[in-house]
Amino acid sequence: MVLYLRSFKVLCLTEVVCGAPSIYLDFARQKLDAKIGVAAQNCYKVPKGAFTGEISPAMIKDIGAAWVILGHSERRHVFGESDELIGQKVAHALAEGLGVIACIGEKLDEREAGITEKVVFEQTKAIADNVKDWGKVVLAYEPVWAIGTGKTATPQQAQEVHEKLRGWLKSHVSDAVAQSTRIIYGGSVTGSNCKELASQHDVDGFLVGGASLKPEFVDIINAKH
């Protein structure tokens, strides 16, 4: 079994959410302490119908999970999910009462072409257009070129994008939303680089993959303290 643990910061406490594969969601919810949240790694945009293999927010809630991860880079670039589809999923998940961890991020060729802002702002707009309650949304910036590659955005690169995302929210949503929305970083976060990343003003936590399966995950959880 593989459980991908994702953490993010709220006020002065660390909230930890386990993003489990769908067939292990019930197991994870039963085994984990109640203080640890559980998230599905994906869901569909409608409550029911002939969509073999998909899961709905209603199913996720049935087993006691309260979160869903949407727009992950693999959903975008392996399974071809469009910004429009991800926005529709966000709208439905929120309408059904789930919290949403919404992922955005540029590929290597897009960063090298100097269009990082264009890409992440377009992805963010597709999400924002479908959000009514920002209190249930966490934005996760994941530069695609840093996911599972061992390459990590420098703390300065992460801070730059996070700061600009917060500025976009201020300009296009509201100052209150910009200040309160948690923007977390994902992309080869480890015990050795988490503290420097966490020290950046606009980095509110982490979306963690491989390191969540190692003892160093405890250090990542505590990095913001």
Residues with a catalytic annotation lie at 72, 142
Dist CA 44 CA 53 (whole Å): 10
Dist CA 202 CA 131 (whole Å): 21
Dist CA 132 CA 44 (whole Å): 19
If 0-12 CB within 10 Å is exposed, 13-18 middle and 19+ buried, where does residue 198 land?
buried
Chain centroid to CA 155: how far? Answer: 18
Kindly give the pairing relationship between strand 13-20 and strand 37-40.
parallel
Dist CA 107 CA 100 (whole Å): 22
